[in-house]
Structure 1
């Protein structure tokens, strides 16, 4: 079975991921930069130097075909898809070759609005429903790999 790699900076589902991975005996790797500290039983932590996208590039270079990646970063998701990884966001949405272009365009558009002085609403407070949706999606991906 492949590994699960977590882009842990700002990731609210680290513990859920480790719990599910443990049930299926899947290796978990947490990647973060030096401004964060993650130490969890059942996972290996890889800490990289702080820098723009340093975690993203380290994770993208580690990816192997079939690995599962947890990230909320569309750019990283695109790099992982190019390496044939399965990629989930923290709410259980699976990034695919069919939806990544639209997501990247939305990110670009939002950045243009912010750069021109516009404001966008922030994220709402995380709910238990989002945690459940993530766990269900992760279990679904793992089950489909074990067929």
Structure 2
């Protein structure tokens, strides 16, 4: 088992690293070349900057039983289809959803973000 983190905008990288170190679980942070990450425990993989480049690299690496941490619903659904356990940085676990349920959740979260920025 390995933890893969969509690290470009992950707000809990330090907590993931600390917990993984405590339980001796290997971690790979994936980010694009616009980010500079350092760790004395985690493996850091930089991929080309570009739309979905990190997502594609992460999906190509993760396997059944791995843990994926991401805020990206599309990436989460791909990782779930490969048998990975997928966590949101806020701590909740993604479940397999139908395309309709996923689209409704995306729409609701987008609406919430727009309303939050309006105030």
* TM band (smaller chain): 0.7 to 0.9
RMSD: 2.2
The verdict on how the C-alpha distance between 1:110 and 1:92 changes in structure 2, with shifts beyond 3 A counting, is closer
- Runs ≥4 residues deviating over 3 A: 98-101, 108-111
TM-superposed CA distance for 1:105, in Å, is 2.9
Deviations 1:77-102 (A, max 9, x none): 00000000000001111001158852
Residue 48 (1) aligns with residue 47 (2) = yes
| Structure 2: runs of 5 or more not aligned | none
Aligned 8 A contact 1:28 1:43 in 2? yes
Larger Rg: 1
Q: What is the distance in 2 between the residues matched to 1:15 and 1:105?
A: 32
| Structure 1: runs of 5 or more not aligned | 114-118, 124-147
TM-score by length of 2: 0.87
TM-score by length of 1: 0.71
Number of residues of Structure 1 aligned to a counterpart in Structure 2 = 116
